[in-house]
Structure 1
Amino acid sequence: MRIKRFKDNGWMDVKSDKYYYLHASSSFSGLDLLFNLKILFIPLYSAVVLIACSGNLLLLFLIWNNKKRHNTTNFLISNLALVDLLMCIFCVPLTASYAFDKRGWVFGSYMCHFVTVMQSAAVYAAVLSLMAIAVDRYVVVAYPIRKRVGCQFCWGLVLLIWLASLALSTPTASHTVYLDLRATGLQMAVCEEFWDGQERGRLIYSCFILFFSYFVPLAAVSISYCAISHQLKKRTKSGLTACPELRSARATWSRRRKKTFCLLLVSVVCFAFSWLPLQVVNLIRDLDTDFSIIGKNYINVIQVSSHLFAMSSACYNPFIYASLHDKFLEKRFICADHCNM
């Protein structure tokens, strides 16, 4: 998920476990353009980190400062906030430095692998959390009087999400290579994915990432939305013959659930559109090794722009989810006291 700074850009070729360094002047044109735009990108990256860190910390405080908000949905929202926070602390600054520092990756081999795994796992954790939220919203609407699960289940669910995310990141981790090129006379180091002799595997994995990161969560949310709409319509029809107090109570309940689901739907859409450009650019780079679609002069700038747009998704979520915690979340809704069924 990180920026592929040098891969397939005339700098490096990997064959039979030997690294051949291709030092052509034409290879620098794209990097020169990127370095010239450093004065524009660095403030934007800084703004993303500042807004995302402060916003997600505030969101975590809003949720965990009030025990009434300790439910499954808010556990998953907290996990999303934690994902964004970790990504903005560990991934964004180091990846931005890698993109704009002429020395390449200056943080060593350990951080190379750590940041690669962290950013990949963060994307999967966010996707799995969004899917879990969609399922949870349906359960809440379809079975409103069902006993809610406890904190132990929520902690287990979050742990399962992270374990699955780390497992899905294994291909990225196993193909990440840190190379110190000072021995070759180049004062730089690189941290990249290399699929030596496994071009088919790399393409399959890229397609899997694109499919799993977008089509699966969007399909899950769409199915959940249709199911929730069906349940709400059934409940509305059954409430037409109820007493006025019960009809009013059910209307309030429906508005609350619709608002919650709409906000979660907005979050999924923002996530999908924010990450789509970077995923598409990475897929194009895997397919178009000759740079016939995106030229070498512009590929680095386009990829950094796409990466910045993807990271900006961490800024939206705190504002979307914080709006859930209005006065409705401070009240307990009980309709049984208004009239007899």
Structure 2
Amino acid sequence: MADIINDSIFGQWETKVFTGINISMDLSRDSKEDNNTNPHTPAYGSLVPIGVQVLMYIMYIAISLAAIGGNGIVCYIVLSDPRMRTVTNFFIVNLAVGDILMAVLCIPFTFVVNLILGQWPFGAVFCVIFTYAQAVSVFVSAYTLITISIDRYIAIIKPLRPRMTKLQAKLLILAVWLVALLTPLPTAIVSKLVPQNDTEGYRCTEDWSTPIQRYYYSMALMLLQYFLPLIVLIFTYTRIAIVVWGKQTPGEAENIRDQRLAASKRKMIKMMITCVTAFTLCWLPLNTLLVAGDHNPSIYYFPHIEYIWFACHWLAMSHACCNPFIYCWMNSKYRAGFARVFHFICCMPLRQHPDNPLHSFVASTDYRQSQSTRRGQALTNNGHCRAQPRKVHV
């Protein structure tokens, strides 16, 4: 194993574990010249065209902005509305915070180092901070999904048990962060700057004593970050689905309230199953590539492997912006919250300028709508089903 996984394999391909590997590639050099002098240099094939690099820039910037904006709105919707401050929504906010951390630390710096600079220019301290923070953010997202599934599991499978309180939810969130901070601690210890071959630059990598240590730590971290959460999520939501969509007990009657509660549970479970599915599909290609590469490092020498890696890495990073779209699509309360935020953003410049000719129209329209709403509410409160004719006094 030690002979197969040797240090030369990481000359151009730098391994850094945060559920994925961060491969530092020099896209601006022609591989033919390197292949004639160094048999261990990966065979990139042809130079990556400028147009493809520009497309990659746009793709990474798009998911980064969407993740920060979408998850920021999710946090605002929950924290600004007291009715939205439920246990499940607290977990969703924690999931959004983990995705924001991913979007701020993982996506931009991986993008800048791999696509623009080809080296690590941010110094030794930031090398440790960002490498460690990347691992923490993935753990927060994965284990928050587990806490949500366990909360739903207890509420549906064992309805007679007391529901989780908000204080207990906050303590569980604190435990998630504690586990997320402690588990990848070896990443912070071994991460350091290493000089690149034949250049004056440095690469940020994990400097292990032996390659076999790197391999086992990579496998352990991947198991804890992806496969273990996936197993727990599949088990819990399978049991929940059997109960929620299972057969009704013969002779059991349901009133309208029970039907409404059951429909609400099914909607919430559908939304969370969709989130788990997005997590599984987004991270599966990259983790498959990592497992295959750890067992057979020669695949990193395949022609055009850089395209495959970027596609898998971009898909994994795009998970940070998936959940807000799922909430907006499948939950009416979040959809209404997003609508309020976008309405405020779009209408704020108009309402801040009274001299705008459209301002008087908008103000008068809002006034008429509010007056109409008040009249309708007054009629409803008086018990009238429709407007009464006005009496004419002679």
Percent identity over paired residues: 26
Residues 258 and 112 (structure 1), Cα distance of their counterparts in 2 relative to 1, 3 Å cut: same
Q: Which residue of 2 aligns with 1:227?
A: 239
1:217 aligns to 2:232 (yes or no): no
Q: Which residue of 2 aligns with 1:166?
A: 181
Aligned-partner SS, 2:200: coil
Aligned-partner SS, 1:33: coil
1:300 aligns to 2:306 (yes or no): yes
Q: Which residue of 2 aligns with 1:191?
A: 204
Q: Which residue of 2 aligns with 1:270?
A: 278
In structure 2, how many angstroms separate the alpha carbons of the residues matched to 1:278 and 1:208? 16
TM superposition shift of 1:113: 1.2
- Deviation per CA, 1:233-285: give whole Å up to 9, x if none: 689327x443xxx4322222111111111111111111111112222222333
TM superposition shift of 1:313: 0.6
- Deviation per CA, 1:275-324: give whole Å up to 9, x if none: 122222223332223x1x34254333322222111111112100112345
Aligned-partner SS, 1:101: helix
Aligned-partner SS, 1:179: strand
Q: Which runs of 5+ in 2 are unaligned?
A: 1-6, 15-30, 36-40, 337-394
- Deviation per CA, 1:56-98: give whole Å up to 9, x if none: 1111111111112212211111111111111111221111010
1:310 aligns to 2:311 (yes or no): no
CA contact (8 A) 1:129 1:161 kept: yes
With a CA cutoff of 8 Å and minimum separation of 6, indicate the structure with the bigger relative contact order: 1
1:8 aligns to 2:9 (yes or no): yes
Residues 12 and 324 (structure 1), Cα distance of their counterparts in 2 relative to 1, 3 Å cut: closer
Q: Which residue of 2 aligns with 1:18?
A: none
AA paired with 1:311? M
Q: Which residue of 2 aligns with 1:54?
A: 69
Aligned-partner SS, 1:118: helix
In structure 2, how many angstroms separate the alpha carbons of the residues matched to 1:208 and 1:103? 28
Residues 114 and 327 (structure 1), Cα distance of their counterparts in 2 relative to 1, 3 Å cut: closer
CA contact (8 A) 1:206 1:283 kept: no
Q: Which residue of 2 aligns with 1:259?
A: 267
Aligned-partner SS, 1:192: strand
In structure 2, how many angstroms separate the alpha carbons of the residues matched to 1:327 and 1:118? 32
TM-score under structure 1 length normalisation = 0.79
CA contact (8 A) 2:44 2:306 kept: yes
- Deviation per CA, 1:12-69: give whole Å up to 9, x if none: 99xxxxxxxxx97123763973574321210110111111111111111111111122
1:30 aligns to 2:36 (yes or no): no
CA contact (8 A) 1:57 1:85 kept: yes
- Deviation per CA, 1:75-133: give whole Å up to 9, x if none: 11111111111111122111101002345111111111111111111111111111111
Larger CA deviation: 206-215 vs 60-69: 206-215
> RMSD over aligned Cα, in angstroms?
3.1
CA contact (8 A) 1:60 1:78 kept: yes
CA contact (8 A) 2:67 2:100 kept: yes
Q: Which residue of 2 aligns with 1:17?
A: none
Aligned-partner SS, 2:249: helix
CA contact (8 A) 1:103 1:189 kept: no
CA contact (8 A) 1:99 1:304 kept: no
Question: Which structure is larger by alpha-carbon Rg, 1 or 2?
Answer: 2
1:64 aligns to 2:79 (yes or no): yes
Residues 74 and 190 (structure 1), Cα distance of their counterparts in 2 relative to 1, 3 Å cut: same
AA paired with 1:30? Y
Residues 32 and 122 (structure 1), Cα distance of their counterparts in 2 relative to 1, 3 Å cut: farther
Residues 325 and 144 (structure 1), Cα distance of their counterparts in 2 relative to 1, 3 Å cut: farther
Aligned-partner SS, 2:199: coil
Map residues 171-182 of structure 1 onto 2, 5 A cutoff: 171-180=186-195
Larger CA deviation: 275-284 vs 155-164: 275-284
CA contact (8 A) 2:267 2:331 kept: no
Q: Which residue of 1 aligns with 2:363?
A: none
In structure 1, how many angstroms separate the alpha carbons of the residues matched to 2:49 and 2:166? 48
Q: Which residue of 2 aligns with 1:286?
A: 294
CA contact (8 A) 1:59 1:81 kept: yes
Q: How many residues align?
A: 307
Q: Which runs of 5+ in 1 are unaligned?
A: 1-5, 14-22, 331-341
Aligned-partner SS, 1:8: helix
